[in-house]
Amino acid sequence: MSEQPIDTCMEKIVSLCKRRGFVFQSSEIYGGFNGFWDYGPYGIALKRAVERQWWLYMVEKRNNVVGLDSSIICHPKVWKASGHVDRFGDIMCDCKQCKTRFRVDQMPDPTTCTNCGSKDLTPPREFNLMMKTYVGPVFDEEHIAYLRAETCQPIFLDFHSIRIATRMQLPFGIAQVGKAFRNEITPRMFTFRSREFSQMEMEFFCADEGSMEWFEYWRQERWNFYLNVLKFPVEKLHLHPHDKLAHYAKAAVDIEYEFPFGWGELEGIHHRGTWDMSQHQQFSEQDLQYLDQTNNTRYLPTVVETSVGLDRMVLAILCNAYDEDRAPTQKEGMEDDVRVVLHFPATIAPVQVAFLPLSKKLNQNAQDLQAKFLGRYRTELDVTGNIGKRYRRQDEIGTPYCVTFDFDSLEDNAVTVRERDSMAQERIPIDNLRAYLDEKVLG
């Protein structure tokens, strides 16, 4: 992406997302609701495609990871056992002058307001991030429940049910994609820090012996996902090992991405030891040990976790895809305007193939052609505006292939396929179109 001031670049991405219906504020007609976002038609297509790629990579292409879709609200004791009720909070302070609130651990100098420079700050206070609700007819302390703050806890609870049902033996993993909720004090940077978001987590259960090898394995696998599936350039990624480890953890590393506003955590890979299973064993008073039949021993499984926010991943994909160029535009006979283009990989583009009739008279022909591909690729029929404008529009939503049906198509039974990044155009016989697009779009 061309070098641009941070704010401008982020503003452009946010404004494109709204203009083209990728992502916009929730409850906009009421002035919005901070930390909550809605995904429009292109946004949800992108989000689903990304989730699909993650699921393929983490579950369907492996023999040793299975899936789960658990409830969002579970027994309140779960969050007591996990430590979220007592300890899941951020230490915050407020500037008495400009009223800005900060997470103390994110302040370059915790004695000085980052916004106005004042030293008049409130003492640091802890804010719990759990979202509370009530379950049942009475709204009192006894009926408090929590919206899950992470998707992994139910995985620990269901470990034995899943193990028995699937006859899986250690080592194996359980993956889940779903909503998580955190009452973030300062939601910011568009969807980067939201109050409602989706997580994609995988908990890998193994014996303690050999668990560090599994940690290394999953760190490498997740790194490869960003390079090979999402096609992120390696210089935009960074591995950040944690300096301070939780007392139960053997190792932890974050995969960071260089957003326009700086480096930010995308994903965490954590060696969690037996902490989660032992906490739930203690609080539930159930024996959660695993019987290892190979050597007839019983032990609590050790867990290696990979945890990423789907919304944060989508934001990184949008930032990585966003580009503006000028020169090549002239080749297509347009004014020297800026071509905004999202360079999504074809596998995750919200629209993979757009069908463009050159004239209104050809609308039906283009639609008939599109009908042959519905359900095979994500497609769109784009009939309004001149062809140059339609190409720009498709570039802006990141469509990798545009198929133009023109008057010659009626004679030669061929169409023009225009590729987004090179803008190269190729004449393809309609009979070969499926094979041609399959190779390009499905890989």
Residues within the interface to ligand ATP (CB under 6 A): 150, 182, 184, 193-194, 197, 199, 265-268, 307-309, 311-312
In the complex with ligand ATP, the residue whose CB is nearer, 203 or 395, is 203
Nearer to ligand ATP, 146 or 391 (CB): 146
Residue 222 vs 390, nearer CB to ligand ATP: 222
Which residue number, 168 or 316, has a Cβ lying nearer to ligand ATP?
316
Please say which residue, 35 or 350, places its beta carbon nearer to ligand ATP: 35
Residue nearest to ligand ATP (CB): 309
Which of 343, 334, 320 has the alpha carbon at shortest distance from 399?
343
Work out how close the CB of 331 gets to ligand ATP at its nearest, in angstroms, rounded to a whole number.
Answer: 40
Contacts by 374-378, CB closer than 8 A, 24 or more apart: 376/434, 377/352, 377/353, 377/437, 377/441, 377/442, 378/45, 378/49, 378/349, 378/350, 378/351, 378/352, 378/353
The least distance separating ligand ATP from the CB of residue 246, rounded to whole angstroms, comes to 11
Residues 6+ apart with CB under 8 A from 40: 20, 21, 22, 23, 24
Concatenated DSSP letters for 360-391?
GGGHHHHHHHHHTTBTTB-EEE--SS-HHHHH
Shortest gap between Cβ of 248 and ligand ATP (angstroms)? Answer: 15
Q: What is the DSSP letter of 137?
A: S
Tell the residue number behind the tokens 């179109």, with chain if given: 433
Distance of CA 325 to the CA centre of its chain: 27
Instruction: Give, for 391, the enclosing helix (H) or strand (E).
Output: helix 387-397
270 or 392, CB closer to ligand ATP? 270
Of 193 and 392, the one with the shorter C-beta distance to ligand ATP is: 193
Q: How far is the CB of 194 from ligand ATP (least distance, A)?
A: 4
The DSSP element (H or E) to which 324 belongs, if any, is strand 322-325
Minimum CB distance to ligand ATP smaller for 199 or for 279: 199
**Amino acid at site 75:** H
Bridge partner list, 132:
146
Compare residues 307 and 404 and give the one whose CB is closer to ligand ATP: 307
Q: What is the DSSP code string of 232-297?
A: --GGGEEEEE-SS--TT-SEEEEEEEEETTEEEEEEEEEEEETHHHHHHHHHHT----EEETTTTE
**Which helix or strand (DSSP H or E) is residue 381 part of?**
strand 379-381
Name the minimum Å distance from CB 196 to ligand ATP.
8
CB 354 within 8 A of CB 366: no
Cα–chain-centroid distance for residue 402?
A: 26
| 69's tokens | 């879709």
Closest Cα partner for 43 from 191, 150, 259?
191
- Rg over alpha carbons for the chain, rounded to the nearest Å, is 25
From the CB of 343, what's the least distance to ligand ATP, in Å? 22
Residue 234 makes CB contacts below 8 A (sequence gap 6+) with 227
Nearer to ligand ATP, 149 or 346 (CB): 149
Q: How far is the CB of 130 from ligand ATP (least distance, A)?
A: 12
Nearer to ligand ATP, 181 or 401 (CB): 181
Shortest CB 264 distance to ligand ATP, Å = 7
Q: How far is the CB of 89 from ligand ATP (least distance, A)?
A: 11
Rounded to a whole number of angstroms, the minimum distance from the CB of residue 161 to ligand ATP is 24
CB of 95 to ligand ATP, least distance (A): 21
The SS3 assignment for 199 reads: strand
The token duo for 385 is 């505006």
Q: Which amino acid type is present at position 98?
A: C
Q: How far apart are CA 252 and CA 238, in angstroms?
A: 14
Q: At what angle do helices 152-166 and 275-284 cross, to 10 degrees?
A: 80
